[in-house]
Chains A and B, each alone.
Chain A
Amino acid sequence: MKNWISRRKLALMGAAVLGTAASLFATTTPTLADDVVLKVYTALEEEQMPIYKEAFEKANPGIVIEWQRDSTGVISARLLAEKDNRQADIVWGLAATSLMVLDKEGMLESYRPVGFDQIKDDFKDLRSGWPTWVGMDAWASAICFNTVEAEKLGLPKPTSWKDLTNPVYKDQIVMPNPGSSGTGFLTVSAWLQLFGDKGGWTYMTALHDNIKTYLHSGSKPCKAVGAGEYPIGISFAYPGVKLINDGAPVEVILPKEGIGWDMEATAIMKGTKQLAAAQKLADFAASADANKLYNDSYQVLARKDVAATLPANYPADEDKLMISPNNFYEMANRRQAILDEWQKSFGSKDAPK
């Protein structure tokens, strides 16, 4: 009995200690004004974010954006992991294919933003009149080509996907692993759509002989090319254009057969407590003003009525070369099968041959 009492006393003491510790830990939340704070998850580039935020807040006083930014894979994984207790109100600037995964989980709210009729068909969720996501701009696969290193190695400049299977490029090409990178997957899915199923796999088998290594990120092949590590990298235009602007001896090539693409898109999270404000942001993201901002980084825009100009050093004709229609939903459904097949055939480049 005596022991029992002392145990209880000790338990109480312990609880008191824990309670004090917890109160020490509690962080003070900043007091908010009357502004509505929108939690916006995004994979936009860091340099675009302050510009977009300022433009939106100026057009919608009383609403403040709080960004949560990460790379496409990390932010998508985080959104999915938070499924049971969602933190985000809206997603602005994430790959449409990632949003489709969220959509499949029933995590997106249907909303038809103002000016929806001005969005090109390729950039719409056309399954019903009430879309769950709306496109913003597109990015497409591209070849980054280091002119200095290519000259040292005596490599000609490739202009098409077929060129890349030329034995002259043996062990000179890097590309993203489609299992790790959305860019890798959209490129593979474009080959399957361009060359047909059988032709696509035959092409990849031929290309595999020239691949030096498969990397775990979509922009990394281009950046490695910019640093002179490899002469040729399959990637997308944005990092290449950035490298050119920084003065690297890089050219961005759009293969002439056609290019796979994905878009950045906006979607409201189902269950958000800030639905009205989130809808305002969705309206803004689909507006002509916002599209003009997207045009600083990308050539192909969602709106029909915004005449896109070519950003500095951006490769021409991306809009003409993008495969259309791009069967996103079919590819999403076949994704696992394609990745399994890819992994089986090419997943172990370093295996003794």
Chain B
Amino acid sequence: MVDTTLAPNAMAVPRPVRPTVTGEDWLVRLCLLLLGLYLVLTLVLPLYTLLAKSLQDKEGQFVGLANFARYFADPAMLQSFGNTIFVSAIGTAITLLMAFLYAYALTRTCMKGRGLFRAIALIPLLAPSLLPGLALVYLFGNQGIFKSLLFGHEIYGPIGIVMGEVFFAFPHALIILVTALSVADARLYEAAESLRARPARIFMTVTLSGCRYGLVSAGLVVFTLIFTDFGVPKVIGGSYNVLATDVYRQVIGQFNFQMGAVVGLLLLLPAVLSFAVDRIIQRKQVALLSARAVPLQPKPRVLIDRLFFCLVAAMAGFLLLVLGMALFGSLVKLWPYNLSLTLKWYDFARAGTDGWGPYFNSLRMAALVAVIGTAIIFCGAYLVEKTRGAGRLRALLHLLAMIPLAVPGIVLGLSYIFFFNAPNNPLNFIYGTMTVLVVNTICHFYTVGHLTAITALKQVDNEFESVAASLKVPLYRTFWRVTVPVCLPAILDISVYLFVNAMTTVSAVVFLYSADTKLMSINAINTDDAGNTASACAMGMTIVATSAVLKGLHSLIMRRVERRTQAWRKR
């Protein structure tokens, strides 16, 4: 019956059983490839053009590891490396502890004023790094109001760096931890209680283990942020050298792109580490919110609620104090010698040549980044987390998404010049436009958005997709009808996160803006450079106010959204 001449390869050789690849799977793969292409164009290739310089001499000749050898021969280098690890480790420990307590209070207690505290916690995100730097000097510097609290130590150095970094990293950790803690299966707690587990034990085995993925992500994010940040050490680090200030010294002080690339490459280490840890944890993570879960509703516990209220109030008080000091700095005539108040620093037309133009540029860029960035990041996270097949590609995309966090702004900004301004790059028409600023900023803040989206998505049981698939509901409909509404709070969080960061970012875009796309945040730095510190403070406060208004709108919308799409979280 079977003719051997007929399709021998199809019939004679038994093929391993493979799941049929449907048109939908092809669509998913295409989307994954598009996302990959996007990340390659906006992240991998630009970084490659710069980091390849670490293997070249100034004339562009390949020199192998000579630059690395030279860098490691510098005795100050090992010290920078040690310093960086030291402040990053301490800063991460403090930030995680504070952010966890804060997030726990917001999500698992019934203390008063949770909405307000949640808003206050985001202050550090709204403020350009100039403001906390200055405020810490005004608070704890040699003329500082609270100098005595440091018991003779001084703010310039590791103490100042750790304080500044904790302030700066706190909301990043909080966003992830709140997302992780806000979903829990009440049945687990009921089970634990009926087994007569003590509260401490329940906390360890249910609460902590339920949010361990969030904790580890937050820890990695914070560690990487502190490891690569250069704004805080530059302002308040004195001569306590860290790797990020080494990049600054090489690139801005000595125009040595090759050595800058060497240090930039070293700064990528935590991202690689993060990825490895992330893979290990991910294998153990199970969806918290199975389709049968009963959402946890915190019950009032008088003593604990009050205790957390005091704790959170103290932390929020410190954040407000820093902001208040910056506000004060924008209103005094001459710190610290003439403390009478004035509004003249808010008259921006007087301070420079640009008046309010940069402010509107900043608004426009932040809006574009928020809308486009959120769409790309959330869809990307969905593709990575929720689709089947193409496992290696998805793992690779996840790795790529982790990288931006570890790339210092200077490195990213210069990479973009080298890549997008290259005469033979067909994309070079976007150089010097608003587009390049938007693309660069999305890339710069990709990771935290990605992790927030992943954390939110992980809590949604994969059964939704399986059920939908067996009901022959197309994937995009499940995405649109189930995933997006369920994750809407996280999506809004991501867009607000992108907006406020786009308003404050400096380190990368400073290399990319042009005369008609000058940004407010850059203007503030330039104004401070020119010696008008108070006016720079005023610009910073304008950014804070704008972002705060947006954040207020966000809260209002959230309230409506929660009523409409999050009712399932309550019983």
Contact = CB atoms under 8 A, between A and B. Distances in A.
Q: Do A and B bind each other?
A: yes
**Chain B interface size, under 10 / 10 to 19 / 20 to 34 / 35 or more:** 35 or more
Interface residues of A, number: 72
A80 B257 contact: yes
A50 B253 contact: no
A66 B510 contact: no
Interface in A53-81: 53, 66-71, 73-74, 76-78, 80-81
A49 B526 CA distance: 13
A128 B83 CA distance: 48
Nearest to B70: A340
Contact of A347 (B76, B432, B510): B76
B251 A77 contact: yes
Contact of A180 (B27, B249, B430, B526): B249
A118 interface: no
B421 A85 contact: yes
B527 interface: yes
Interface in A293-320: none
B137 interface: yes
A5 B392 CA distance: 25
Contacts of B341: none
Contact of A74 (B252, B337, B431): B252
A347 B241 contact: yes
B76 A348 contact: yes
Interface in A237-266: 239, 242-243, 246-249
Nearest to A176: B253
Contacts of B8: none
B526 A350 contact: no
A179 B249 contact: yes
Contacts of A82: 417, 421
Interface string A168-188: 000000000111110000000
B41 to A, nearest CB: 11
Contacts of A87: 421, 431-432, 514
Contact of B253 (A39, A180, A340): A180
Nearest to A7: B26
Interface string B206-238: 000000000000000000000000000010001
A216 B248 contact: yes
Interface in A338-353: 339-340, 343-344, 347-351
Contact of A350 (B23, B240, B336, B422): B240
B113 interface: no
B282 interface: no
A347 B266 CA distance: 20
A6 interface: yes
A49 B353 contact: yes
Interface string A8-35: 0011001000100000011100100000
Interface stretch (A156-164, A221-229, A278-286): A221-229
A159 B48 CA distance: 51
B63 interface: no
A151 interface: no
A229 B142 contact: yes
Interface string B533-567: 10000000000000000000000000000000000
B352 A47 contact: yes
B514 A73 contact: no
A212 B352 CA distance: 33
Among the interface residues A7, A213, A223, which one has the most CB atoms of the partner chain B within 10 A?
Answer: A213
B511 A350 contact: no
A70 B510 contact: yes
Contacts of A349: 238-239
Nearest to A39: B515
Among the interface residues A30, A228, A336, which one has the most CB atoms of the partner chain B within 10 A?
Answer: A228
Nearest to A351: B79
Contact of B514 (A68, A148, A348): A68
B533 A223 contact: yes
A39 B515 CA distance: 9
A330 interface: no
Contact of B531 (A70, A243, A247): A243
Contacts of A239: 531
Given A74-B510, A84-B423, A27 B253 contact: no
B141 interface: yes
Nearest to A66: B515
Given A85-B428, A228-B142, A10 B336 contact: no
B418 interface: yes
19 contacts: A10-B26, A14-B30, A50-B353, A70-B510, A77-B414, A82-B417, A85-B428, A87-B432, A180-B245, A215-B238, A219-B531, A227-B143, A230-B142, A247-B334, A336-B254, A344-B74, A347-B76, A348-B239, A349-B238
Interface of A: 3, 6-7, 10-11, 14, 18, 25-27, 30, 39, 45-47, 49-50, 53, 66-71, 73-74, 76-78, 80-82, 84-85, 87, 101, 148, 177-181, 212-217, 219, 223, 227-230, 239, 242-243, 246-249, 335-336, 339-340, 343-344, 347-351
